[in-house]
Amino acid sequence: MKITLLLCTAILFSNNNTFSQDCKTNADLDAVPGKYLTAAQYPWPAVRAEYFNNLATSADKAIAKLTLSQLEKIEAQSHTGFSLTGGNWENTYSSKGYSYLGNTKLGAYTFQAALYEYFCNNGKMKRNSEYSTVLRIYANAIPIKTLDPLLQNPFGSSMGDYDLGLQFMDWKNHKPADVNAQLIPLFTYMSCTSQSLIDAINTGSNYFQDVDTKDIKPNNRNIYITRYWFIKKKNLPVLIPVSRNEYLLSLLEYYDREKIYFRKLVAKLTEEHNNDIKQYTNWEADIADKIAVVKKALSDHNEGWLSAQAVINRTEDAALNYKAKLTERTNYKRFWDFSGTGNKSEPLYKYNPEYFKTIAQGPAKPQIVSIAFRYVTIASSLRMLDNVTNNFNFDAIKKMLE
């Protein structure tokens, strides 16, 4: 039975994805019954074999496999009473590897279900090889890349092109292959310009949508809209504010790493007789000045001021650098002042270390689950959105985190 099903699935993906169904227009296919295909039914064994490749141990792979199979079952239960038409709903697994949330190293992996629509080509029904509508369930991750620019890492993740591993906490013992080693604090901070997104992440209730309802146009395939749910395990916030004191101290740590970085870089450029060295002739004075400004801010203000949330404005900082005619390369991340709540201001957040802690089950045990449903405003996609919103058992996932 299983072999027959896999063969049928392979045939579905072959022959240019052509079916025997006759049609004249794409609209003729909207009511054609679709198929559900599990991650185990993905037709290429080599791809299935790589589902958990980015997790290091057999124990972590086993936990991830169990978790994703549970998530897949929960998602499948939401289909009860739902009539899938107009395309196939096909599942896959993937693993990202490891990253630090707070001080805790966690294994991240994802369940995906995508709608591959049917379309009419030369009078025959075909399965589109691409998708617009997709459900992704992330274990141990908040999808910052898809939430950008609302939520982002404003300071990047490295010191620069001449990589010495200085961005990592333990840079002296850092191994180049370990790209997910723990970063210095500045590179772990997130900025968020949406309080409703922060509330959705920290409360685990209600959903957040990245496009306002009033701005959504019907029958539009060109605009992707994503609805997010965040499932958490404790009555603790997932993200907490970065204080001004923390931010200023993290800048001092970064500037100390810059001293090492520029010293090595200038030596390299000198050896190569590279004209780019002209951009670094004043690097020692520039860093000394940056340090002095930060230390003055720390000494001139009381505890109440320093404990307030750090709010930055990178656009204004860059403008001030330009007006002061400062050399660009040696004045990155220069501190001028904290911003208010005006245009392009960015409050800073970090992962809450009290929420994320090492647990006995190991790094792959899920501590937070993020659900992202991306859709477009066509009939088949909207049907899937309504089904996920109304029938998905979010409480079942919460029980998995306990």
97, containing H or E segment: strand 87-101
Find the distance separating the first CA and the last CA of the chain, reported in whole Å: 36
Residue ranges of E strands in 143-269: 151-152, 190-192, 208-209, 225-232, 239-241
The pLDDT of residue 163 is 66
Its pTM stands at: 0.91
Taking the C-alpha atoms of residue 159 and residue 156, their distance in angstroms, rounded to an integer, is: 8
The pLDDT of residue 231 is 98
Beta bridge partners of 115: 89, 133
Q: What is the pLDDT of residues 346-394, one digit of tens each?
A: 999 999 999 999 999 999 999 999 999 999 999 999 999 999 999 999 9
The pLDDT of residue 303 is 97
What are the angstrom distances between the C-alpha of 61 and each of 58, 109, 133, 220?
5, 10, 28, 40
CA atoms within 13 A on the CB side of 361: 17
Q: What is the pLDDT of residues 17-37, one digit of tens each?
A: 556 678 888 888 999 999 999
The pLDDT of residue 146 is 95
125 touches 29 (CB < 8 A): yes
Taking the C-alpha atoms of residue 8 and residue 12, their distance in angstroms, rounded to an integer, is: 6
Retrieve residue 140's tokens.
Answer: 């141990």
Bond prior to 149 in cis (omega within 30° of 0): yes
The pLDDT of residue 12 is 45
Residue ranges of E strands in 102-256: 104-121, 124-127, 133-139, 151-152, 190-192, 208-209, 225-232, 239-241
Q: What parts of the chain have a pLDDT lower than 70?
A: 1-20, 161-163
Number of helices and strands (H, E) in the chain?
11, 14
The pLDDT of residue 237 is 97
- Which residue in 148, 77, 91, 90 sits closest to 116, CA to CA? 90
400 touches 137 (CB < 8 A): no
